Amino acid sequence: MIKFLPLFYGGIRLPFSETAKPIGGALLPATFFNLLLIAANIFGFAYILLKVGFDFGLTPKTKRDWLDVLVFFVFLISGMAMWYIPILFLAFSVSAVVLVAGQLS
């Protein structure tokens, strides 16, 4: 049976490399990756439902709301990728400041 279904018995290959640093090596990038997938699915389904005729209030209405959504996705993407490309820490910290400042105003 192992020869017929090696994917199930061998494990699914993840795009995260093994390192001696579990937090920065795999835990945080995997967390940002999962949050990115969840947020993209929520916004995708909300957009499809809006086009069908159901409005649950999950889709942005104003340009400011769209900017917040864009900054949120930049935050998640840079949070995942900054562990592999360190210059993306700048995008991560700027997007975090913009998200916090947007909520304070």
pLDDT digits 0-9 by tens, 57-72: 888 888 988 899 999 9
Residue 21 DSSP one-character state: -
Q: Higher-confidence residue: 9 or 37?
A: 37
* Dihedral, CA of residue 82, residue 83, residue 84 and residue 88, to nearest 10: 10
**What residue spans define the domains of the chain?**
22-104
Mean pLDDT of the chain, nearest integer:
81
- Report the percent of the chain where pLDDT is more than 70: 76
Residue 5 has pLDDT above 80, yes or no: no
Q: Quick: pLDDT tens for 11-60.
A: 555 555 666 666 666 778 888 888 999 999 999 998 899 899 888 888 88
